Structure 1
């Protein structure tokens, strides 16, 4: 019987063993942000069966995408693919290495260890000019696969919160640098940007050379940059797919005690409130910022208003705060103001003084208009 000895096999290895009696080849392709072989019908590796992560091997009634299915569901769907307890499973995808590690990790979670990811997937297979077929194959018979859950391989929201506070555990985030830093919005509509506390960024693409995984030596170097003798790695991403790519890379290197956060940022960002913006302002800087915010009730400050603000603080403070204010959106401004008011523990009397200064700012040009009146009422409501 064919047995895998590594979490990763080459296309040459697969080609050599295509006729093995217990071999099962699964195409676990899901759409990325490009067209896929499923859409283009470029072909499939001979004897491929479709491992449908989205519709059959996820809990489609869950609140978040790609959630682990129940043991009963996974076992039933695996049997429908003809998978037996002694099957040697090789999983690939049309992108190279993108979604195939998710299928690999799911099988490990449900107790099947005779499984490996095809290094380079379909692109690598085709680069060797190995034959393909135009349609998926059909299972020969129903399998006898039995699910045996290994709970330690996945964690959830409460688990990742606990791991983020444990010194010997390191959380890796497989999203791009830009998403990790909040420089671009999350692809999922309505999902806020942010990071899990105490996590580090390792985009899954950093483990690849083109569409194949980097060498074991290169992977070891990547992980050692962060590891610092940590005993456990937890992997997260956007929705739990590419986190498994990091788990694959770490497994190839030989790391143990690996955990994937199933909900990943989609769950974490949904279930945690947006953190309060903070700023280390002194009282003069806070005053300048509040007055600038008020002055922008009509989206700009005029010379009269500038002069009032500068009369309250020195020019250096004004310029410093003005530069910061110019970079903040409205939500950030409110959060910073409220946090600083709390930090300085202003009394009700002190807040009244601030509101009086704001009103004086508005009267600087002898024209207290409706926008300024609305802004004064708004600030009075949130500050008091």
Structure 2
């Protein structure tokens, strides 16, 4: 028996069990630990005959400064052949976390011109839940394949591409990170990586596409995308390091979207390469970071902020964000401060209620020491005017 066609980019565990003996079927285990996990942890069990697709070491450019960086065409072709993958193979990719890293392997194959690949819906947990057999992981020692890679330039985009997208607003950037990370309400899991967002990006946490570890229905996923899409712009998916962005790509393809790509470096690269002291980098502030910067400006209307004013600002952001924004504010002169506030307001689309809340926050800060003096009145009216003009 041979497999001749996948009708969708996902298959069920029932389908895989039924077709497990197909002569051209290759099952790939693309499991990786999450950033917050012990990287030495491992699961010794796998779906029978699965071959380990080593995303971190074999199918990434390990010499690159950022994690899981897109490999070269030659590297990908060679490593795929080493797993016995042929041009007529049909691949089913899974991971041990429902649907997490397997879509990255799926998307990599598509980016190198190979379409005979699908993701196992629910991954290893769904296979186990169905009481299907397991086996011990073994290193593949079979025949070398004849797989041929042909790079599809439209599947991946990179830092320079995203810089142009940000400037010209030609694409809709959709971020797969959690809402808390996207909004800067919790720190990034990678040590030293600042919080923030790609300018004008929208957020669809990849988990929103899943229920009980499996993809939601096509109609449900389509509704989720339609809530954030602008017109018919092409989509660029981003996340922390290019892994879960591919979950969004999988959901988009399942529901019929075609014009899309994945930002390989995602926020790890963008947040690292954009200097937060650069005037252009203010576009990367979250709204909370912008509010903190404005409040620092207001608090220093009398040349120094009080402890009570600091506490007001700390009620809006965490300590790491407080310190980051404080350091930047202290490095800026008055002209730079005003320009950054104006640019920040232009970047974030504030509603009337958002503006009213911002003005309340500024007043609360001014009243923190028990009085609203004449200098603070002048600064408040000045801020209110430039904020309203920029919003």
Q: Which residue of 2 aligns with 1:244?
A: 246
The reply on whether 1:293 has 2:313 as its aligned counterpart is no
Preserved CA contact (<8 Å) 1:26 1:49? yes
Is 2:170 the partner of 1:159? no
Indicate the residue corresponding to 1:39 in structure 2.
42
Q: Secondary structure at the match of 1:151?
A: coil
- Structure 1, residues 141-198: CA drift from partner, whole Å, max 9, x if none? 1100011000110000110122234445210111111111111211111111110001
**Helix, strand or coil for the counterpart of 1:172?**
strand
Cα separation, 2, equivalents of 1:132 and 1:322: 55
- Of 134-143 and 241-250, deviating more is 134-143
Q: Distance in 1 between matches of 2:67 and 2:328?
A: 31
Q: Distance in 2 between matches of 1:194 and 1:69?
A: 26
The CA distance in 1 between the partners of 2:40 and 2:194, in whole Å, is: 31
CA distance in 2, matches of 1:341, 1:90: 57
Between the two proteins, the alignment pairs up a number of residues equal to 320
Secondary structure class of the residue paired with 2:28: strand
Say whether 1:110 aligns with 2:112: yes
**Structure 1 residues 40 and 27, CA gap change in structure 2 (3 angstroms):** closer
Equivalent-residue separation in structure 2 for 1:332 and 1:133 (angstroms): 52
Q: 2:292 and 2:126 mapped to 1: Cα distance?
A: 53
C-alpha contact 1:109 1:150 (8 A) present in aligned 2: yes
Whole-Å separation in 2 of the counterparts to 1:209 and 1:281: 38
Query: Quick one: distance in 2 between partners of 1:232 and 1:188?
Result: 29
Equivalence map 1:88-237=2 (5 Å): 88-136=90-138, 138-237=140-239
Task: Give ranges in structure 1 of 5+ residues lacking alignment.
Answer: 302-318, 346-384
Q: Residue by residue, what CA displacement relative to the aligned partner does 1:73-132 show, whole Å, maximum 9, x if unpaired?
A: 111110010000010000000011000000000001111100000000111111111111
For the Cα contact (< 8 Å) 1:82–1:143, is it kept in 2?
yes
Distance 1:38 1:24, change over 3 A: farther
Q: How has the CA–CA distance of structure 1 residues 339 and 74 changed in structure 2, closer, same or farther, with 3 Å as cutoff?
A: same
The alignment partner of 2:128 has SS state of helix
* Distance 1:47-1:37 versus aligned 2 partners, 3 A rule: farther
* TM-score scaled by length of structure 2: 0.75
TM value normalised by structure 1 = 0.76
CA offsets, 1:33-71, max 9 Å, x none?
457997242x21111000000010000000111001111
